[in-house]
């Protein structure tokens, strides 16, 4: 299964996928291309260092969300992409885009959903006073951070944590569960029943 990875910034989750592919942990998944909506970001350097097509589709260059997404889909299709990973991609996608990749579109979010959706998960978790946080890989639906959950990992919230320390602890787990979820999808081991995602045993 050929994956396109959409990014917007640092790309550490992308790096975890590139490393997993190199080590045979994505098999039969293949990273076909990396697309950023922002030029000049570290994720693009990581992609080209790994020998992957590193493409910019700058949302600012398009007059509407639909035309931006049409360019995105065109790029992904040109690279034979069959499934899409949002790895720190910071644009909301339209229902049309989500429908185009239904059951083939996953996102990583740095909280235990449904707690703390949105762009400030760590700040919100700390403000709430939770004792446990974590990360979630889920299928994407048009509502933000709301699709059926594939994998989650939990970490403790420690006394004295600030956004940066909690984020670092969670990120280490993101780098474990995202490649694992991509491999499961690639291997055809995920099936959806409503909100529930079943993981078939490996054969
Ligand atoms: C990660 O915490 C991811 O969960 C969130 O944005 C961050 C992206 O980090 N959606 P990186 O670009 O993968 O390093």
Helix or strand run (H / E) with residue 136:
strand 132-139
What pTM value is reported for the model?
0.97
**Residue 2 DSSP class:** E
Contact 148, 193 (CB under 8 A): no
pLDDT value at residue 144 = 85
pLDDT in tens, 126-156: 999 999 999 999 999 988 889 999 999 999 9
Q: How far is the CA of 88 from the centre of ligand 1 (A)?
A: 4
Ligand 1, atom 7, residue with closest C-alpha: 88
Centre of ligand 1 from the C-alpha of residue 200, in Å: 27
Ligand 1, atom 10, lies closest to the CA of: 88
- 43-83 pLDDT, tens digit per residue, is 999 999 999 999 999 999 999 999 999 999 999 999 999 99
Quick one: average pLDDT of 17-42?
Answer: 98
Position 135 scores a pLDDT of 98
pLDDT for 145 equals 86
CA angle, 193 then 139 then 202, to 5°: 65
């Amino acid at each position: 299964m050929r994956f396109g990875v959409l990014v917007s910034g640092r790309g550490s989750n992308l790096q975890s996928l590139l490393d997993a592919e190199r080590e045979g942990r994505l098999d039969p998944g293949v990273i076909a291309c990396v697309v950023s909506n922002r030029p000049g970001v570290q994720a693009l350097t990581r992609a080209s260092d790994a020998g992957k097509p590193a493409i910019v589709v700058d949302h600012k260059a398009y007059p509407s969300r639909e035309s931006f997404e049409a360019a995105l889909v065109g790029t992904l299709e040109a690279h034979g992409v069959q499934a899409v990973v949002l790895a720190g991609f910071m644009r909301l996608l339209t229902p049309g885009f989500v429908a185009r990749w239904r059951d083939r579109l996953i996102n990583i979010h740095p909280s235990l959903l449904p707690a703390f959706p949105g762009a400030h998960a760590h700040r919100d978790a700390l403000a709430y006073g939770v004792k446990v946080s974590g990360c979630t890989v889920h299928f994407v639906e048009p509502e933000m951070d709301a699709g059926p959950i594939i994998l989650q990992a939990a970490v403790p919230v420690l006394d004295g944590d600030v956004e940066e320390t909690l984020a670092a602890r969670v990120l280490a787990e993101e780098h474990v569960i995202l490649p694992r979820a991509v491999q499961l999808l690639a291997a055809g081991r995920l099936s959806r029943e409503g909100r529930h995602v079943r993981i078939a045993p490996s054969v």
